[in-house]
Amino acid sequence: MGIKRRDFLLSGAAAAASAAVAATGVWAQGSGSKMGSDTLPLRIGMTDWNLGERGTTEKLELARKIGLDGVQVSILYPEDGSLHLRCSKMQAAYRKAALDNGVQICSLAIGNLGPGGPFKSEPMGVMRVADAIEVASNIGTNDILLPMFRNRVPLDDAEFTRMINSFKEMATIAEKHEVVVALETSMSAEEHLRIIDAVGSPCIGVYMDPYNCCYYGHDPLKDIPLLKDHIHQVHVKNGKSLMSQPSERKYKWPDVAELLYKVGYKGWYILETSAPSGDLIVDTRKNIEYVRQNFRIPA
């Protein structure tokens, strides 16, 4: 494409942030964060599944009431064969809901890649990612969360080769739409890089989830510097606890926040948090405040 991966990611993030300011002024919500001449405003979104039922436009209204800047929405594949977000009317409904409520659709999540081993042996995963790339472009986001865990990641050289070839095909479509497919997996940083470097496209990146990274036996404080040029969005969560409570994992969130700042990460922080008190709005606002107090965006 003639553009470096990091430049592509940062230009996309900057463009999205500028659009948010022009359309909604949401950056004003970041006044509680550690702002200075060396920082930019913070953008905080949340997954629609943690806001309640996934795949509905009502979550954008709820996000506004809570004080979020955006929502990570899900593309569904209903058993009755209906198109959900692959339908142009549904896409228009999401765009309208985002505009009406002054929040962004910050990314699109693919929760169902079909049966078997997507990208390794089954073609449905490639087809669904191809659909999702077009949907993401149509609803106004340039980032896709593609989760792959356990037996869905490659286990030997042959499976790595098949997966790399699949992602090369998807990268061509993603480049056309200027959408990044960001992998969140149970793999190590080195295994992510094996795929990303072999594909060689700025449109194949990483979705960093420090909590899950640690769960699968890796160290986010080591993986983040290795993956720094490829991280497109970040999930933040603390299991069944509030973000301000002691971490269930072997890291401290302020350390992760400072490291992401130092490596130059400028994207969204997406809450994948629960409501331990039973009050979603109150608990989410507490988590938003914690993120604003501890995370920074480098200028």
- Residue 263 belongs to some domain of the structure: no
Determine the distance from the C-alpha atom of residue 20 to the mean position of all C-alpha atoms in its chain, rounded to a whole number.
17
Tokens linked to 142: 């340039």
Q: What is 178-203 written as a DSSP string? A: T-EEEEEESS-HHHHHHHHHHH--TT
- Looking at the 3D structure of the chain, how many domains does it have? 1
> pTM for the full model?
0.89
How does pLDDT run along the chain (299 residues), one tens digit per residue?
444 444 554 545 444 444 444 333 333 333 344 666 688 999 999 999 999 999 999 999 999 999 999 999 999 999 999 999 999 999 999 999 999 999 999 999 998 998 877 887 778 889 999 999 999 999 999 999 999 999 899 999 999 999 999 999 999 999 999 999 999 999 999 999 999 999 999 999 999 999 999 999 999 999 999 999 999 999 999 999 999 999 879 899 999 999 999 999 999 999 999 999 999 999 999 999 999 999 999 99
- Residue 111 belongs to some domain of the structure: yes
DSSP H helices, 25-156, are 58-66, 88-101, 124-139
- Residue 187 belongs to some domain of the structure: yes
- Residue 133 belongs to some domain of the structure: yes
Place of tokens 């940062």: 10
- Residue 160 belongs to some domain of the structure: yes
Tokens linked to 207: 């979705």
> Is residue 272 a contact partner of residue 207, using CB atoms and an 8 Å limit?
no
Structural domain harbouring 100: 5-26+68-235
> Is residue 101 a contact partner of residue 66, using CB atoms and an 8 Å limit?
no
- Residue 184 belongs to some domain of the structure: yes
Centre a 10 Å sphere on the Cβ of residue 265 and count the other Cβ atoms it contains. 25
Q: Provide the CATH number for the domain around residue 142.
A: 3.20.20.150
Please provide the size of the chain in residues: 299
Q: Please give the Cα distance from 240 to 273 (Å, whole number).
A: 8
> Is residue 266 a contact partner of residue 40, using CB atoms and an 8 Å limit?
yes
- Residue 258 belongs to some domain of the structure: no
Torsion of CA 181, 187, 191, 193, to 10 degrees: 40
Centre a 10 Å sphere on the Cβ of residue 291 and count the other Cβ atoms it contains. 21
- Residue 297 belongs to some domain of the structure: no
Cα separations (Å) of 73 from 48, 62, 95, 155, 262? Answer: 5, 13, 12, 30, 29
